[in-house]
């Protein structure tokens, strides 16, 4: 007779442990994984490629390097794959939480705006806009690293 309550208790403990394990396993994928935001850049037809790449190498990439805590931002060029020679803007956020804090509702937060202004990063962003087709920066995917 005493084995029934023990079996019931053990079953409850196992179910509870499975539930807690599942909860914590999912927590790793909800807000904590790095976000790799890819903006597919379509250059304007009259853009001088050498000038654009010079801007990326010497101005944009160094300007964003270490300027915004929790964010790495680069212009990159494809050298393999489906669209060799294409360009993208890569933004690597420390986590979904960081991305959503910096850019809630698809616009920069006051905190991010202040950093962008203080570091004169809006000037770099606006200069990038002179090279790309209007709406180009709106073509994107954000990928969450599953950790």
The alpha-carbon radius of gyration of the chain (Å, integer) is: 23
Beta-carbon count within 10 A of 32 CB? 15
Mapping DSSP to helix (H, G, I), strand (E, B) and coil, where does residue 36 land?
strand
Q: Write down the pLDDT at residue 7.
A: 57
Give the predicted TM-score (pTM) of the model: 0.75
* Residuewise pLDDT in 10s, the chain (147 residues): 555 666 555 554 554 444 444 444 444 455 678 999 999 999 999 999 999 999 999 999 999 999 999 999 999 999 999 999 999 999 999 999 999 999 998 889 999 999 999 999 999 999 999 999 999 888 899 999 987
Question: How far apart are alpha carbons 147 and 144 in whole angstroms?
Answer: 9
């Amino acid at each position: 007779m005493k084995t029934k309550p023990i079996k019931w208790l053990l079953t409850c403990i196992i179910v509870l442990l499975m539930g807690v394990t599942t909860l914590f396993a999912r927590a790793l994928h909800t807000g904590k994984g790095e976000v790799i935001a890819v903006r597919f850049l379509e250059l304007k037809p009259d853009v001088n490629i050498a000038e654009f790449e010079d801007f990326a190498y010497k101005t944009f990439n160094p300007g964003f390097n270490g300027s915004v805590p929790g964010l790495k931002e680069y212009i990159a060029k494809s050298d393999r794959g489906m669209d060799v020679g294409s360009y993208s803007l890569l933004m690597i956020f420390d986590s979904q939480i960081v991305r959503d804090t910096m850019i809630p509702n698809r616009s920069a937060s006051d905190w991010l705006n202040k950093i962008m202004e203080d570091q004169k990063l809006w000037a770099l962003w606006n200069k990038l806009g002179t090279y790309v087709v209007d709406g180009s920066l709106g073509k994107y995917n954000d990928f969450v690293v599953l950790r």
